[in-house]
Amino acid sequence: MKDELAEGDEPSASSALSPREPTFEVPPLSQDNVFDALASKRSRYVLVTLRDAEGPVGVRELVDTVAAWETNKPIDLVSEEHCKRVFTSLCHSQLPKLAMMGLVEYDEDDEVVKRGPYAEQADAYLDIAASRDENVEV
């Protein structure tokens, strides 16, 4: 894509992928992409939470769950500073990355997240990672 832009061929707005609206034109994830997505503990926590949810999950609920699992404390004992760091990390890094991969659908305006069209591709690997993390309540 950088080469296209360097040569002056700008992609049209309709062909550009939105990080929160993956299309089915995106190829299925490679094993390397799945491992890349699961490399972050926060991303794994997000994916576990969404898999166990009945529907979309609010960003604030995700932040609370991730912060509690990271610290291995009930959310009311987790510092507000830690929750702010988790919020910033999820909103500016993990969620957009997972959305670009099609693992989640992230609606920034409504602040809700749900499983994406390719989430099932990561489930087997996610099971292994979650089973080895004593902080995850499955």
Q: What pLDDT shows up at residue 29?
A: 81
Q: Is 39 helix (H, G, I), strand (E, B) or coil?
A: coil
Provide the residue range defining the domain that includes 118: 27-131
pLDDT at 7 over 50: no
In a domain, 87, yes or no: yes
In a domain, 118, yes or no: yes
pLDDT at 111 over 80: yes
> How many distinct structural domains can be found in the chain?
1
∠ at Cα 103 (99, 108), nearest 5°? 30
In a domain, 6, yes or no: no
In a domain, 60, yes or no: yes
Summarize pLDDT for 13-49 with one digit per residue, the tens. 443 444 445 455 556 788 888 888 899 999 999 999 9
Q: Are 17 and 23 in contact (CB under 8 A)?
A: yes
In a domain, 94, yes or no: yes
In a domain, 11, yes or no: no
pLDDT at 3 over 80: no
Q: What pLDDT shows up at residue 26?
A: 52
Q: Is 18 helix (H, G, I), strand (E, B) or coil?
A: strand
pTM for this predicted structure = 0.76
In a domain, 35, yes or no: yes
